[in-house]
Amino acid sequence: MERMICRECLQHMKQRSLPACPSCGRFYYGEGDMHLCQDCQEKRPPFSVHRSCAEYRGLVKDVLLLYKFKKIKVFGECLSGYIFEILGEDPVLWWGLEGIIPVPLHPSKKRERGFNQSEIIARKIAKKKEVPLLRNCLLKRSETLPQTSLESIPRRTNVKGAFIVKDPKRIEDKILLLVDDVYTTGATLNECSSVLIRAGAKEVRAITIAQA
């Protein structure tokens, strides 16, 4: 790991410097303070709040690509530390939290990769915050096309019905945090959150390393 990216670089990954929508967390690239984006004014997402640490570019993107596709699992620890550095004191994310759920992979994809990158990060967050990690609670039952290959509307239809809650009693009336690596259109987080809410969750929040 040290030969590819040194620890000093990992500790200095650029954090978000842009204002963002307080609901969906989408970064604004123009002027203005934090305010609800047009999409959230028209219709709020099923999750109550989402936050990303940074834009999906530069060193952050490089680390995520190495982590996922070169299967460098130790980067999960670096990335969870990065989350705490940027978002660890954000009360909207952590107050009253009762469970942490990683966005799941389909079993075939997990076998191919060897691990679920979101679960490794979620496990470390759960340990640090002393909040239960609800493993194998949210499952991906359908093998879908890679979201990166699709546009906005096909992304939503691609994941529609792909996720299920295995044991609704584990999440009933609880405040949950969904953990994923990259936020693009929000299709995956929207679908997972909707499924959890329908299964009885009181509130779903979400966190990602970066957004594209």
Ordered mean pLDDT values, 10 residues apiece, the chain (212 residues): 55 70 89 83 96 91 89 86 90 96 94 93 95 96 61 66 93 98 93 97 97 91
Rounded to an integer, what distance in angstroms lies between the CA atom of residue 162 and that of residue 200? 18
**The predicted structure's pLDDT at residue 12:** 65
Q: How many CA atoms lie within 13 A of 103 on its CB side?
A: 25
Rounded to an integer, what distance in angstroms lies between the CA atom of residue 18 and that of residue 59? 17
CATH number at 7-211: 3.40.50.2020
The model carries a pTM of 0.88
**The predicted structure's pLDDT at residue 149:** 47
pLDDT tens track for 119-151: 999 999 999 999 999 999 999 987 765 545 445
**The predicted structure's pLDDT at residue 154:** 63
